[in-house]
Amino acid sequence: MRSRSLVCTGCGCLCDDIQVQTNDSRPILIENACAKGAAHIQASFNPERRPHCTIGGRQCGPGEAVAEARRLLGNSRNPLIFGLDSSTLSAQSLAIALARKLGGSIDSAASFSYGPLLAAMLGGDLPACSLAEVKDRADLLLYWGADPPNTHPRHLSLHSYYAYSEYNPAGWYPRVTLVCVEVRRTELSSMSKPAIRIKPGEDRAVIEAITGEAQSQVGAAQGLAELIRKSHFCVLFCGLGLMHSLGGDPGPLVRMARLFAGSTRMAVIPMISEVNMMGFCRLLHQTAGQVSSVGFKDGTAAGREHSFLEQVRRRSADCVLIVGSDPFAALPQSVMENLGDAKIVCLSPLATASTMAADVVIPTALPGVECGGSVLRMDGVEVALAELEKGAYPTEEAVLSRLLEIL
Amino acid sequence: MPRKDLQPLQIYRLLPRTNCKLCGCPTCYAFAFNLISRSRRVEDCPELLKDEFGESFRALKKMLGEGERIAGSDHVLDRSRCTGCGDCVAVCIRALTTITKNGRLAQRAAVPPPLKVMDGRLQVVEWSSCKRAVPGLDICNLCAEKCPFSALDLVKPEEPDQEDS
Ligand code: SF4
Ligand code: SF4
Ligand code: SF4
Ligand code: SF4
């Protein structure tokens, strides 16, 4: 029996205090991980959750599958690489190099979720802070359109409300105010004081009422503005609910942060669920000046026409390489149906709807369980993953660099 | 938030009240105490499984929830609701490795933490550390109060010794 420390890659929290006891290279006891994380770690040891290496549904060896992937990508006129938000930084840079070599496009789920917000943060328009700073200094935790008890189970106990080390234990004399802005009742709203309930789609109006841009007053705005003004350090945890309601436009948040800049330190942390969306956006930003939807056909270009959704809608991509992502489960079927004629190559550690739809499936090692690597957490801090047991599968890095080599 | 305190009489009214002893308790009233402390399950009364008590059975199930006693503790956990979020572990005053006052270290907790999340669900790993294991301090229910999913309850293990009605 061995005991190992692990970083959980079950969600964006990347909890680094997981202990796993293994016997005969199988986990027999997982300590500290939440139910979601424990299931994630166990999944890699369950053969039924792992995909087979296949070409057109026929099982084959990895060498053959990589050769077929190479053929499909090489023959493609408009190759598209998608996913990568759960891959390590080194796999991500290899994928960017591959897209460049192919003259194709590359995109991640950030283009329809946190992309614009991350662009504003990386561009310096929105202030950021680390989760380590949050738990020692922040006195106002503002969750907006986010429901961490359901999406990031240990976010509050490990990174925020219950994690204060310098303060008195939060459970006893909370000096920190937990506020949530939500359109419905959630587990978080029952813990928050106050819990601000707004109407669906009202987010922009509330922010504009706070910044004074709006003509009419929205009930919730005044109290919220007062709370922020009175606090010294307010951290805004920005959820997908807020992003979608703002139509992906971080402008109102930028103006709100500027408004309070004089009195309150305000920082934004996106509640990213993926393990390394932050890393991919930063890498692409460094390479191409954009956080998502980049094309390398004639030089480097970025824009809507290079986004995954747009290319799928217009049926312009004829070969899609999906890396560690599951768009077939995440996006509506009516959208994905447009990929009917395109060839799909899928690199995935687990069996998903996307591996079922793919023409070529290459199973890979699960980052954080079967291989190490580095990722950027939601607050932009680099986290080194540990390896529990080397499995039978090649890493994404190995497959991508092999493709890069033979193309 | 824990479920609101259950009263033995409230439970007793829903039982068959025949004192047939098939459940292993001397009386139905004693069985009611056992249900509250979760040392017995509703299914343990064979009378309640009959059709005529169907309504009482369902009402009792609803009142008592799906929680099961974690052996050797006062903690009653509904494993299907527990997400392993660890909020209860974090708020337990006995689990803190350091107790600070005004930002300074005031005291180190002298005992190993009572609670821990194992295989994704809450476990009581050191019952003797829990305040409730200490006579006179057994009113603590912070962990159950802070559970965001109402998965945790705390019960008093006491049972009536003699017949009572
Ligand atoms: S909160 Fe997320 S990272 Fe932490 S243990 Fe649960 S699934 Fe894993
Ligand atoms: S088996 Fe049921 S009816 Fe009989 S004593 Fe126990 S609780 Fe009462
Ligand atoms: S009992 Fe409640 S607070 Fe404790 S780990 Fe389970 S869900 Fe979280
Ligand atoms: S009852 Fe009190 S001391 Fe015992 S585990 Fe819960 S919070 Fe800790």
| C-beta A368 within 6 A of ligand 1 | no
Band the pLDDT of A271: cuts 50, 70, 90.
Answer: very high
Does pLDDT of B102 surpass 60? no
Band the pLDDT of B162: cuts 50, 70, 90.
Answer: very low
B6 versus B80: which is more confidently predicted?
B80
Question: Distance between CA atoms of A204 and A185, rounded to whole angstroms?
Answer: 20
Band the pLDDT of B163: cuts 50, 70, 90.
Answer: very low
Cβ distance B100 to A166 less than 8 Å, yes or no, reads yes
Residue that terminates a domain, selected from A270, A294, A328: A270
Whether B22 and chain A come into contact, CB under 8 Å, resolves to no
CB-based burial label for B157 (10 Å; 0-12, 13-18, 19+): middle
Band the pLDDT of A86: cuts 50, 70, 90.
Answer: very high
> What mean pLDDT do residues B6-28 have?
91
| C-beta A188 within 6 A of ligand 1 | no
Q: Are residues A126 and A243 in the same domain?
A: yes
DSSP single-letter state for residue A387 = -
* β-sheet with B152-154: strand ranges across: B68-69, B75-77, B152-154
Cβ distance A34 to B117 less than 8 Å, yes or no, reads yes
Does pLDDT of B107 surpass 60? no
Q: Tell me what pLDDT residue A214 has.
A: 79
Q: Are residues A165 and A247 in the same domain?
A: yes
Q: Are residues A134 and A100 in the same domain?
A: no
Q: Whose CA is nearest to atom 4 of ligand 3?
A: B88
Does pLDDT of A149 surpass 80? yes
In a domain, A45, yes or no: no
Q: Tell me what pLDDT residue B124 has.
A: 96
> What mean pLDDT do residues A267-285 have?
96
Q: Are residues A264 and A323 in the same domain?
A: no
Band the pLDDT of A135: cuts 50, 70, 90.
Answer: confident
Strand partners, A282: none
| C-beta A101 within 6 A of ligand 1 | no
Ligand 3 centre to CA of A295 (Å) is 46
Question: Distance between CA atoms of B29 and B8, rounded to whole angstroms?
Answer: 7
| C-beta B133 within 6 A of ligand 4 | no
Q: Tell me what pLDDT residue B100 has.
A: 53
Does pLDDT of A248 surpass 50? yes
**Backbone phi and psi for residue A212, each to the nearest 5 degrees, phi listed first:** 80, 10
| Both structure tokens of A54 | 């296949």
In a domain, A46, yes or no: no
The shortest CB-CB distance from B146 to any of A31, A168, A171 is to A171
Q: Tell me what pLDDT residue A171 has.
A: 46
CATH (domain of A212): 3.40.228.10
Q: Tell me what pLDDT residue A79 has.
A: 96
Q: Are residues A124 and A264 in the same domain?
A: yes
Does pLDDT of A208 surpass 80? yes
Domains and CATH numbers, chain B: 3-65 (1.10.15.40), 75-154 (3.30.70)
Q: Half-sphere exposure of A105 toward its Cβ, with a 13 Å CA cutoff?
A: 30
Neighbours of B147 (CB within 10 A): 24
Q: Are residues A69 and A121 in the same domain?
A: no
Smallest Cα–Cα separation from A127: which of A112, A135, A138, A136?
A: A138
- Ligand 4: residue of B140, B152, B155 to mutate (most ligand atoms within 8 A of CB) is B140
Q: Tell me what pLDDT residue A269 has.
A: 97
Strand partners, A5: A19
Q: Are residues A363 and A302 in the same domain?
A: yes
> Above pLDDT 90, what percent of chain B?
51
The shortest CB-CB distance from A39 to any of B82, B101, B120 is to B120
Domain containing residue A120: 115-270
Q: Please name the residues between 142 and 201 in chain A that touch chain B, using a CB distance below 8 Å.
A: 149-150, 153-154, 156-158, 162-163, 165-172, 187-188, 190-191
| C-beta B64 within 6 A of ligand 4 | no
Band the pLDDT of A148: cuts 50, 70, 90.
Answer: very high
* Contact residues for A398 (Cβ-Cβ < 8 A; gap 6+): none
DSSP-assigned states of every residue in A70-91: HHHHHH-SSEEEEE-TTS-HHH
For residues A140 and A115, the answer to whether their CB atoms sit within 8 Å is: no
**Angle subtended by helix axes A203-211 and A251-260, to nearest 10:** 30
Chain A environment of B118 (Cβ under 8 Å) = 29-31
pLDDT tens readout for residues B77-91 = 999 999 999 999 988
Smallest Cα–Cα separation from B130: which of B121, B141, B120, B119?
A: B141
The shortest CB-CB distance from A29 to any of B84, B118, B142 is to B118
> What mean pLDDT do residues A173-187 have?
87
**Backbone phi and psi for residue A22, each to the nearest 5 degrees, phi listed first:** -120, 150
In a domain, A204, yes or no: yes
Does pLDDT of B159 surpass 60? no
Whether B97 and chain A come into contact, CB under 8 Å, resolves to no
CATH (domain of A367): 3.40.50.740
Q: Are residues A299 and A384 in the same domain?
A: yes
> What mean pLDDT do residues B158-163 have?
51
User: With left for phi above 0 and alpha for psi between -120 and 50, is residue A229 left, alpha or beta?
Assistant: alpha
Does pLDDT of A169 surpass 70? no
Q: Are residues A108 and A119 in the same domain?
A: no
Residue that terminates a domain, selected from A240, A270, A300: A270
User: Tokens 């660890």 correspond to what residue?
Assistant: B86
Smallest Cα–Cα separation from A206: which of A235, A238, A166, A246?
A: A246
For residues B41 and B11, the answer to whether their CB atoms sit within 8 Å is: no
* Contact residues for A20 (Cβ-Cβ < 8 A; gap 6+): A3, A4, A5, A6, A27, A29, A30, A31, A41, A388
CA of B87, nearest ligand number:
3
Q: Are residues A34 and A153 in the same domain?
A: no
Q: Tell me what pLDDT residue B164 has.
A: 45
What total number of domains does chain A contain? 3
Q: What is the mean pLDDT of chain B?
A: 83
Question: Distance between CA atoms of B25 and A376, rounded to whole angstroms?
Answer: 58
pLDDT tens readout for residues B138-153 = 788 889 999 999 999 9
Does pLDDT of B4 surpass 70? no
Collapse the DSSP code of B132 into the 3-class scheme (helix H, G, I; strand E, B; otherwise coil) and give the result: helix
State which amino acid sits at residue B54: G
pLDDT tens readout for residues A39-62 = 999 999 999 999 999 999 999 999
Q: Are residues A316 and A396 in the same domain?
A: yes
Q: What is the mean pLDDT of chain A?
A: 93
In a domain, A44, yes or no: no
Which stretch of A232-236, A302-306, A329-333, B36-40 has the lowest confidence by average pLDDT? B36-40
Residue that terminates a domain, selected from A270, A288, A310: A270
Chain A environment of B98 (Cβ under 8 Å) = 165
Q: Are residues A220 and A283 in the same domain?
A: no
Q: Tell me what pLDDT residue B98 has.
A: 53
- Classify strands A177-182 and A195-197 as parallel, antiparallel or unpaired: parallel
